[in-house]
Amino acid sequence: MTEDRPRVGISSCLLGQPVMFNGGHSRDRFLTRDLARYVEWVPVCPEVEIGLGAPREALRLTAAGHLVSRDGGGARDRVGARDHTDAVAALAGRRRGDLAGLSGYVFKSRSPSCGLFGVRVYAGEGGGEAPVRGDGRGALAARVLASFPLLPAEEEGRLNDPLLRESFIEQVFARHRLAGLFGGRWRARDLIEFHARHKLQLMAHDPGRSKRAGCLVAAARARPADSVAERYTALFAQAMAVRAGRGRHGNALQHAFGLVSSHLDHARRHDILDRIDAYRRGEVPLTVPVTLIRHHATGCGIGYLRAQTYLDPFPAGLGLRNHA
Protein backbone atom coordinates (compact mmCIF):
# COMPACT_ATOMS: atom_id res chain seq x y z
CA MET A 1 0.00 0.00 0.00
CA THR A 2 1.11 3.53 -0.71
CA GLU A 3 0.61 6.46 1.62
CA ASP A 4 -2.31 7.54 -0.57
CA ARG A 5 -5.09 5.91 1.40
CA PRO A 6 -8.87 6.25 1.18
CA ARG A 7 -10.34 8.81 3.57
CA VAL A 8 -13.24 7.22 5.41
CA GLY A 9 -15.62 8.96 7.79
CA ILE A 10 -16.33 7.23 11.08
CA SER A 11 -18.30 7.81 14.26
CA SER A 12 -15.64 8.81 16.79
CA CYS A 13 -16.79 6.34 19.45
CA LEU A 14 -15.90 3.43 17.13
CA LEU A 15 -12.25 4.49 17.33
CA GLY A 16 -12.33 4.26 21.11
CA GLN A 17 -12.91 7.93 21.86
CA PRO A 18 -14.97 8.31 25.09
CA VAL A 19 -17.70 10.44 23.56
CA MET A 20 -20.84 8.37 24.11
CA PHE A 21 -23.69 9.66 26.26
CA ASN A 22 -22.46 7.59 29.24
CA GLY A 23 -18.86 8.70 28.83
CA GLY A 24 -17.83 5.40 27.26
CA HIS A 25 -16.95 4.27 23.75
CA SER A 26 -17.69 1.46 21.29
CA ARG A 27 -14.22 0.69 19.99
CA ASP A 28 -14.45 -1.76 17.11
CA ARG A 29 -11.53 -4.18 16.78
CA PHE A 30 -11.78 -4.76 13.04
CA LEU A 31 -11.94 -1.05 12.28
CA THR A 32 -9.15 0.00 14.65
CA ARG A 33 -6.86 -3.01 14.32
CA ASP A 34 -7.27 -4.26 10.73
CA LEU A 35 -8.83 -1.63 8.48
CA ALA A 36 -6.97 1.25 10.15
CA ARG A 37 -3.76 0.06 8.48
CA TYR A 38 -5.18 0.85 5.05
CA VAL A 39 -7.44 3.90 5.41
CA GLU A 40 -7.28 7.40 6.85
CA TRP A 41 -10.06 7.80 9.38
CA VAL A 42 -12.02 11.06 9.54
CA PRO A 43 -13.74 10.93 12.95
CA VAL A 44 -17.01 12.75 13.59
CA CYS A 45 -19.03 12.93 16.80
CA PRO A 46 -21.99 15.26 16.23
CA GLU A 47 -22.96 15.47 19.90
CA VAL A 48 -19.51 16.62 21.03
CA GLU A 49 -19.03 18.87 18.02
CA ILE A 50 -22.24 20.78 18.75
CA GLY A 51 -21.07 21.38 22.31
CA LEU A 52 -22.64 18.58 24.34
CA GLY A 53 -20.45 16.91 26.90
CA ALA A 54 -19.74 13.29 27.73
CA PRO A 55 -21.42 11.98 29.75
CA ARG A 56 -24.67 13.73 28.83
CA GLU A 57 -28.40 13.18 28.71
CA ALA A 58 -29.33 10.58 26.11
CA LEU A 59 -30.72 11.90 22.83
CA ARG A 60 -33.88 10.75 21.09
CA LEU A 61 -35.16 10.95 17.54
CA THR A 62 -38.79 12.05 17.29
CA ALA A 63 -41.40 11.17 14.72
CA ALA A 64 -41.21 14.76 13.48
CA GLY A 65 -37.53 14.27 12.68
CA HIS A 66 -36.13 16.22 15.62
CA LEU A 67 -33.14 15.25 17.74
CA VAL A 68 -33.95 16.10 21.35
CA SER A 69 -32.74 15.61 24.90
CA ARG A 70 -34.00 16.54 28.34
CA ASP A 71 -30.78 18.30 29.28
CA GLY A 72 -27.79 20.06 27.73
CA GLY A 73 -27.60 22.90 25.23
CA GLY A 74 -30.30 23.74 22.77
CA ALA A 75 -33.61 25.56 22.62
CA ARG A 76 -36.37 24.61 25.08
CA ASP A 77 -39.20 24.85 22.62
CA ARG A 78 -40.52 21.31 22.30
CA VAL A 79 -42.56 20.39 25.37
CA GLY A 80 -39.67 20.84 27.77
CA ALA A 81 -37.17 18.99 25.57
CA ARG A 82 -33.99 20.54 24.27
CA ASP A 83 -33.88 20.48 20.49
CA HIS A 84 -30.49 19.93 18.82
CA THR A 85 -31.79 19.48 15.28
CA ASP A 86 -30.66 22.85 13.95
CA ALA A 87 -27.24 22.47 15.58
CA VAL A 88 -26.69 19.11 13.86
CA ALA A 89 -27.85 20.58 10.54
CA ALA A 90 -25.38 23.44 10.94
CA LEU A 91 -22.61 20.96 11.77
CA ALA A 92 -23.37 18.96 8.62
CA GLY A 93 -23.05 22.17 6.64
CA ARG A 94 -19.72 23.08 8.25
CA ARG A 95 -18.25 19.63 7.65
CA ARG A 96 -19.59 19.28 4.12
CA GLY A 97 -16.37 20.36 2.41
CA ASP A 98 -14.27 17.94 4.46
CA LEU A 99 -16.69 15.06 3.96
CA ALA A 100 -16.90 15.67 0.21
CA GLY A 101 -13.57 13.90 -0.27
CA LEU A 102 -14.55 10.71 1.54
CA SER A 103 -14.52 7.29 -0.09
CA GLY A 104 -16.84 5.77 2.52
CA TYR A 105 -18.36 6.20 5.98
CA VAL A 106 -18.85 3.86 8.96
CA PHE A 107 -21.67 4.98 11.25
CA LYS A 108 -22.49 3.90 14.81
CA SER A 109 -25.48 1.58 14.78
CA ARG A 110 -28.74 2.51 16.53
CA SER A 111 -27.47 6.00 17.36
CA PRO A 112 -30.15 8.72 17.10
CA SER A 113 -27.54 10.94 15.44
CA CYS A 114 -25.46 8.42 13.46
CA GLY A 115 -27.49 5.23 12.97
CA LEU A 116 -28.23 4.19 9.40
CA PHE A 117 -30.91 1.60 10.02
CA GLY A 118 -33.35 0.66 12.75
CA VAL A 119 -33.04 3.77 14.92
CA ARG A 120 -35.83 4.06 17.48
CA VAL A 121 -38.28 6.86 16.75
CA TYR A 122 -40.29 8.32 19.63
CA ALA A 123 -43.73 9.88 19.54
CA GLY A 124 -44.33 13.44 20.64
CA GLU A 125 -42.22 16.50 19.95
CA GLY A 126 -40.29 15.97 23.16
CA GLY A 127 -39.58 12.31 22.51
CA GLY A 128 -40.89 11.42 25.95
CA GLU A 129 -43.30 8.68 24.98
CA ALA A 130 -42.55 5.06 24.11
CA PRO A 131 -40.92 4.38 20.75
CA VAL A 132 -43.44 4.04 17.96
CA ARG A 133 -41.13 2.84 15.20
CA GLY A 134 -37.77 1.17 14.82
CA ASP A 135 -36.97 2.22 11.27
CA GLY A 136 -35.42 5.66 11.77
CA ARG A 137 -32.14 7.10 10.48
CA GLY A 138 -29.89 9.24 12.64
CA ALA A 139 -30.05 13.01 12.26
CA LEU A 140 -26.47 13.42 11.04
CA ALA A 141 -26.40 10.23 8.96
CA ALA A 142 -29.52 11.34 7.09
CA ARG A 143 -27.96 14.70 6.25
CA VAL A 144 -24.63 13.21 5.17
CA LEU A 145 -26.29 10.77 2.78
CA ALA A 146 -28.66 13.45 1.49
CA SER A 147 -25.60 15.49 0.52
CA PHE A 148 -23.64 12.48 -0.79
CA PRO A 149 -26.17 9.86 -1.93
CA LEU A 150 -23.53 7.80 -3.75
CA LEU A 151 -21.20 7.55 -0.75
CA PRO A 152 -20.59 3.94 0.39
CA ALA A 153 -21.89 3.78 3.95
CA GLU A 154 -22.32 1.05 6.56
CA GLU A 155 -22.79 0.50 10.27
CA GLU A 156 -20.12 -1.21 12.35
CA GLY A 157 -22.49 -3.98 13.44
CA ARG A 158 -23.37 -4.97 9.88
CA LEU A 159 -19.68 -5.20 9.03
CA ASN A 160 -19.55 -8.38 11.12
CA ASP A 161 -21.30 -10.04 8.19
CA PRO A 162 -18.44 -11.16 5.87
CA LEU A 163 -20.43 -10.48 2.70
CA LEU A 164 -21.43 -6.97 3.78
CA ARG A 165 -17.88 -6.28 4.96
CA GLU A 166 -16.39 -7.35 1.65
CA SER A 167 -18.95 -5.37 -0.35
CA PHE A 168 -18.40 -2.17 1.63
CA ILE A 169 -14.61 -2.30 1.57
CA GLU A 170 -14.58 -3.13 -2.12
CA GLN A 171 -16.71 -0.04 -2.76
CA VAL A 172 -14.42 2.13 -0.63
CA PHE A 173 -11.27 1.22 -2.54
CA ALA A 174 -13.03 1.41 -5.91
CA ARG A 175 -14.30 4.91 -5.12
CA HIS A 176 -10.81 5.91 -3.98
CA ARG A 177 -9.37 4.87 -7.33
CA LEU A 178 -12.13 6.76 -9.14
CA ALA A 179 -11.40 9.88 -7.08
CA GLY A 180 -7.76 9.54 -8.09
CA LEU A 181 -8.80 9.65 -11.73
CA PHE A 182 -11.23 12.57 -11.61
CA GLY A 183 -9.45 14.44 -8.82
CA GLY A 184 -6.82 15.83 -11.21
CA ARG A 185 -6.47 16.65 -14.86
CA TRP A 186 -7.61 13.70 -16.90
CA ARG A 187 -8.10 12.90 -20.55
CA ALA A 188 -10.42 10.53 -22.36
CA ARG A 189 -7.66 7.97 -22.72
CA ASP A 190 -7.20 7.97 -18.94
CA LEU A 191 -10.88 7.14 -18.48
CA ILE A 192 -10.65 4.44 -21.15
CA GLU A 193 -7.74 2.84 -19.32
CA PHE A 194 -9.52 3.12 -15.96
CA HIS A 195 -12.69 1.49 -17.28
CA ALA A 196 -10.71 -1.28 -18.97
CA ARG A 197 -9.00 -2.12 -15.67
CA HIS A 198 -12.36 -2.28 -13.89
CA LYS A 199 -14.23 -4.20 -16.58
CA LEU A 200 -14.40 -7.57 -14.79
CA GLN A 201 -15.12 -5.96 -11.43
CA LEU A 202 -18.05 -3.96 -12.78
CA MET A 203 -19.30 -7.01 -14.67
CA ALA A 204 -19.38 -9.01 -11.45
CA HIS A 205 -21.60 -6.39 -9.81
CA ASP A 206 -23.89 -4.96 -12.47
CA PRO A 207 -23.44 -6.02 -16.11
CA GLY A 208 -26.11 -3.58 -17.31
CA ARG A 209 -24.54 -0.48 -15.81
CA SER A 210 -21.11 -1.75 -16.80
CA LYS A 211 -22.22 -1.80 -20.41
CA ARG A 212 -23.76 1.67 -20.17
CA ALA A 213 -20.59 3.00 -18.61
CA GLY A 214 -18.62 1.46 -21.47
CA CYS A 215 -20.79 3.27 -24.01
CA LEU A 216 -20.23 6.53 -22.15
CA VAL A 217 -16.47 5.97 -22.16
CA ALA A 218 -16.50 5.24 -25.89
CA ALA A 219 -18.16 8.60 -26.55
CA ALA A 220 -16.15 10.55 -23.96
CA ARG A 221 -14.08 12.52 -26.48
CA ALA A 222 -17.23 14.02 -28.00
CA ARG A 223 -18.81 15.15 -24.71
CA PRO A 224 -18.00 17.82 -22.10
CA ALA A 225 -15.53 16.45 -19.57
CA ASP A 226 -17.53 17.55 -16.52
CA SER A 227 -20.66 15.86 -17.83
CA VAL A 228 -18.76 12.63 -18.56
CA ALA A 229 -17.17 12.60 -15.11
CA GLU A 230 -20.49 13.17 -13.34
CA ARG A 231 -22.34 10.54 -15.32
CA TYR A 232 -19.56 7.96 -15.12
CA THR A 233 -19.23 8.47 -11.37
CA ALA A 234 -22.95 7.79 -10.92
CA LEU A 235 -22.91 4.65 -13.07
CA PHE A 236 -19.74 3.39 -11.42
CA ALA A 237 -20.98 3.96 -7.87
CA GLN A 238 -24.42 2.51 -8.56
CA ALA A 239 -22.90 -0.58 -10.18
CA MET A 240 -20.48 -1.18 -7.32
CA ALA A 241 -23.30 -0.81 -4.78
CA VAL A 242 -24.98 -3.92 -6.24
CA ARG A 243 -23.71 -6.88 -4.27
CA ALA A 244 -22.06 -9.50 -6.48
CA GLY A 245 -23.45 -13.01 -6.02
CA ARG A 246 -22.00 -16.37 -6.97
CA GLY A 247 -23.61 -16.30 -10.40
CA ARG A 248 -22.10 -12.99 -11.48
CA HIS A 249 -18.78 -13.80 -9.85
CA GLY A 250 -18.86 -17.04 -11.81
CA ASN A 251 -19.46 -15.16 -15.06
CA ALA A 252 -16.57 -12.78 -14.32
CA LEU A 253 -14.32 -15.74 -13.55
CA GLN A 254 -15.30 -17.39 -16.83
CA HIS A 255 -14.37 -14.21 -18.72
CA ALA A 256 -11.04 -14.13 -16.90
CA PHE A 257 -10.49 -17.78 -17.75
CA GLY A 258 -11.13 -17.00 -21.42
CA LEU A 259 -8.25 -14.52 -21.37
CA VAL A 260 -5.77 -17.05 -20.04
CA SER A 261 -7.00 -20.38 -21.39
CA SER A 262 -5.09 -20.30 -24.69
CA HIS A 263 -1.82 -20.01 -22.74
CA LEU A 264 -2.42 -23.18 -20.72
CA ASP A 265 -2.36 -26.89 -21.33
CA HIS A 266 -5.37 -29.15 -20.94
CA ALA A 267 -4.72 -30.05 -17.30
CA ARG A 268 -4.28 -26.44 -16.13
CA ARG A 269 -7.39 -25.30 -17.99
CA HIS A 270 -9.50 -27.96 -16.32
CA ASP A 271 -7.94 -27.16 -12.96
CA ILE A 272 -9.21 -23.58 -13.20
CA LEU A 273 -12.64 -24.64 -14.45
CA ASP A 274 -12.96 -27.14 -11.61
CA ARG A 275 -12.17 -24.40 -9.08
CA ILE A 276 -14.73 -22.05 -10.66
CA ASP A 277 -17.40 -24.77 -10.52
CA ALA A 278 -16.48 -25.54 -6.90
CA TYR A 279 -16.92 -21.87 -6.05
CA ARG A 280 -20.32 -21.78 -7.76
CA ARG A 281 -21.38 -24.75 -5.58
CA GLY A 282 -20.20 -23.00 -2.43
CA GLU A 283 -17.45 -25.54 -1.73
CA VAL A 284 -14.51 -23.12 -1.83
CA PRO A 285 -14.19 -19.37 -1.24
CA LEU A 286 -13.82 -16.89 -4.08
CA THR A 287 -10.14 -16.42 -3.28
CA VAL A 288 -9.36 -19.94 -4.58
CA PRO A 289 -10.23 -19.48 -8.31
CA VAL A 290 -9.12 -15.82 -8.20
CA THR A 291 -5.69 -16.76 -6.84
CA LEU A 292 -5.28 -19.44 -9.49
CA ILE A 293 -6.21 -17.09 -12.32
CA ARG A 294 -3.94 -14.36 -10.94
CA HIS A 295 -1.07 -16.84 -10.76
CA HIS A 296 -1.43 -17.87 -14.40
CA ALA A 297 -2.00 -14.29 -15.58
CA THR A 298 1.31 -13.32 -13.99
CA GLY A 299 3.17 -16.42 -15.12
CA CYS A 300 1.94 -16.12 -18.70
CA GLY A 301 2.61 -12.39 -18.87
CA ILE A 302 -1.00 -11.44 -19.66
CA GLY A 303 -0.80 -7.79 -18.70
CA TYR A 304 -4.43 -6.89 -19.43
CA LEU A 305 -5.74 -9.63 -17.15
CA ARG A 306 -3.18 -9.04 -14.42
CA ALA A 307 -4.16 -5.35 -14.36
CA GLN A 308 -7.82 -6.17 -13.67
CA THR A 309 -8.91 -4.72 -10.34
CA TYR A 310 -11.21 -7.71 -9.96
CA LEU A 311 -8.18 -9.81 -9.02
CA ASP A 312 -6.99 -7.36 -6.33
CA PRO A 313 -9.89 -5.06 -5.38
CA PHE A 314 -8.57 -4.29 -1.88
CA PRO A 315 -5.47 -5.01 0.24
CA ALA A 316 -4.86 -8.75 0.63
CA GLY A 317 -3.95 -8.22 4.28
CA LEU A 318 -7.63 -7.64 5.12
CA GLY A 319 -8.29 -11.33 4.59
CA LEU A 320 -11.51 -10.86 2.65
CA ARG A 321 -12.97 -13.23 0.04
CA ASN A 322 -12.01 -16.14 2.30
CA HIS A 323 -15.60 -17.11 3.19
CA ALA A 324 -17.17 -20.03 1.35
Residue 205 lies in a domain: yes
Average pLDDT over residues 301-306: 97
Angle (CA) 121-25-168 rounded to 5° is 70
Name the pairing type of β-strands 75-78 and 153-155. unpaired
Considering the domain architecture, whether residues 11 and 147 belong to the same structural domain is answered as yes
Residue 258 lies in a domain: yes
Dihedral over Cα of 22, 28, 29, 32: its sign: negative
Reported confidence tier of residue 1, pLDDT bands at 50, 70, 90: very low
Considering the domain architecture, whether residues 43 and 145 belong to the same structural domain is answered as yes
Considering the domain architecture, whether residues 102 and 181 belong to the same structural domain is answered as no
Q: Count of domains in the chain?
A: 2
Give the pLDDT score at 312: 97
Residue 314 lies in a domain: yes
Considering the domain architecture, whether residues 124 and 11 belong to the same structural domain is answered as yes
Give the pLDDT score at 120: 94
Reported confidence tier of residue 209, pLDDT bands at 50, 70, 90: very high
Q: Domain end: 139, 160, 181, which one? A: 160
Q: What is the largest CA-CA distance in the chain?
A: 78
At 30-55, the pLDDT tens digits run 999 999 999 999 999 999 999 999 99
Considering the domain architecture, whether residues 289 and 180 belong to the same structural domain is answered as yes
Out of 21-25, 73-77, 93-97, 118-122, pick the least confident.
73-77
Secondary structure (DSSP) of 51-74: T--SS-PPPEEETTS-EEESSSSS
Give phi and psi for 65, each to the nearest 5: 90, 15
Range of the domain at 252: 162-324
Considering the domain architecture, whether residues 135 and 167 belong to the same structural domain is answered as no
Q: Is the pLDDT of residue 96 over 80?
A: yes
Residue 315 lies in a domain: yes
Considering the domain architecture, whether residues 240 and 140 belong to the same structural domain is answered as no
- Judge if pTM exceeds 0.85: yes
At 2-32, the pLDDT tens digits run 468 999 999 999 999 999 999 999 999 999 9
CA distance linking residue 202 with residue 221, whole number of Å: 22
CA distance linking residue 296 with residue 261, whole number of Å: 9
Select from 100, 102, 94 the least CA-distant residue to 51: 94
Considering the domain architecture, whether residues 153 and 234 belong to the same structural domain is answered as no
Considering the domain architecture, whether residues 135 and 204 belong to the same structural domain is answered as no
Secondary structure (DSSP) of 134-163: EEE--HHHHHHHHH-TTS-EEETTGGGSHH
Considering the domain architecture, whether residues 242 and 111 belong to the same structural domain is answered as no
Q: Domain end: 125, 160, 195, which one? A: 160
Q: Is the pLDDT of residue 235 over 80?
A: yes
Give the pLDDT score at 132: 79
Q: Domain end: 124, 145, 160, which one? A: 160
